[in-house]
Amino acid sequence: MKKTILVILLSTLGFNANAQNNRNNLEKFGKAELGFHGLILGYELPVSNKFVWENAFGLGMGMSVDNNIATYTLDLIRPVPSLKSRLKFVYNINKRKEKGKNIVNNAGNYIALQTKYSFGISGIRSLNSAMLSELHWGIQRNLGGRFIFNTHIGLGYLQDFNFNSGVFSPTIGFSFGYRIF
């Protein structure tokens, strides 16, 4: 676990040093999001003209695998801490610019690879230490000013570390965000 966090932090520093400043297209910014996955604080960093690398810390939904069934549980009293890293390919950014559509806050359609590690809460069966690796399609839109809407749908593999079992699972998400800086 400590090695995973160390790799994510070192990778973030490496990408930050090599990232291009893409004033024309994608922007780097910090944000807070609220959705049915919970509360997430994240940072979007453009790594090319069409790729954005997003890293985040969250409190919210827990995950587990029970009898080969993926279970996602949002417990508002005991939110589960998690780390998320996502590489988004914003495939229509140039077309949106050509048509004069809004690209503020990295608005566009995307395909993404995402990994989310949920730390779990010991003693609660449905809130285990688990990792979800997924491929999804999504959209991100600017709602005016600093507000953002994001939704995605895809397929992932959920690995439950407490029970040493895993299963493929459909994934879905949506959130409303606010650009902090």
pLDDT category, 93, cuts 50, 70, 90? very high
pLDDT number for residue 40: 97
* pLDDT range class, residue 1, cuts 50, 70, 90: low
Could you give the 3-state DSSP secondary structure of residue 16?
Answer: helix
Q: Which two tokens stand for residue 25?
A: 């297209």
Average pLDDT over residues 1-23: 46
Quick one: average pLDDT of 86-109?
Answer: 95
3-state SS class at 97: helix
For the segment 24-49, the average pLDDT, to the nearest whole number, is 94
Q: What does the pLDDT read at residue 19?
A: 42
Domain ranges of the chain: 2-179
2-179: CATH number: 2.40.160.20
pLDDT reported for residue 154:
98
Q: What is the pLDDT of residues 122-162, one digit of tens each?
A: 877 778 999 999 999 999 999 988 999 999 999 999 999 99
Q: Which of 162, 171, 161, 165 is nearest to 133 (CA)?
A: 171
Q: Which two tokens stand for residue 163?
A: 């029970």
